[in-house]
Each structure stands twice: as structure tokens, then as C-alpha cells.
Amino acid sequence: MRPRTTGEETSETFDTCVQGVRNILQTAKDLEVQRVVFASSGAIYGMSKKRERSLVKEDDPVGIYPVNLHRTGRIVGEFLGKFYAHNHGVKFI
């Protein structure tokens, strides 16, 4: 299955990814939750360059390319987690 192209998605996809993660992180901050576990998506990694057509491991390089809105939104979510960890002490795993 290949990722959908930008033309096949709406901005709602991006908004859901980004605003959803931000809402969770802001609520965690407000309620003084110590950590948030973020289950990432295969969309963020794409195809492994080291092992074509195989599983991607966490230490594989992440190709941060805006192939579609879902992938872009998930990448932004990862950066939001790092922002909240650094600036608000919400551990982001």
C-alpha cells in the first residue's frame, strides 16, 4: 500500500494529527502528567533505505519529506512532543 498523495487528502488530516497531539500535550501539562507515550506511525518513516521492503527500525534514518499531509502532520506531532518535553517538562516517549 502506498501513501496517499497530497491531492487525495484534506487539510482535516493535517489538523487532526497536529491539533490532536497538541491538545494531548497541553492537557498533560495542565494536569501535571509526567509523560506521554506517543505511538508513532509507519507513515513517518517511509520505506527503509537500508533494508528495502523490510521493517524499519528506530535507528534507521527518518526521511523527513512531506510526501502527504498525514506524514507531515505526524512529523509535526513528533516535534511538538520534543517542544513540550523541553519547555514544559512533559516527558515524551
**pLDDT score for 1:** 41
Mapping DSSP to helix (H, G, I), strand (E, B) and coil, where does residue 44 land?
helix
Residues of the chain scoring pLDDT < 50 = 1-2, 6, 48
**pLDDT score for 21:** 94
Name the strand (E) or helix (H) holding 42: helix 42-45
**What amino acid is encoded at 92 in this protein?**
F
**pLDDT score for 5:** 52
Answer whether 0.75 is exceeded by the pTM: no
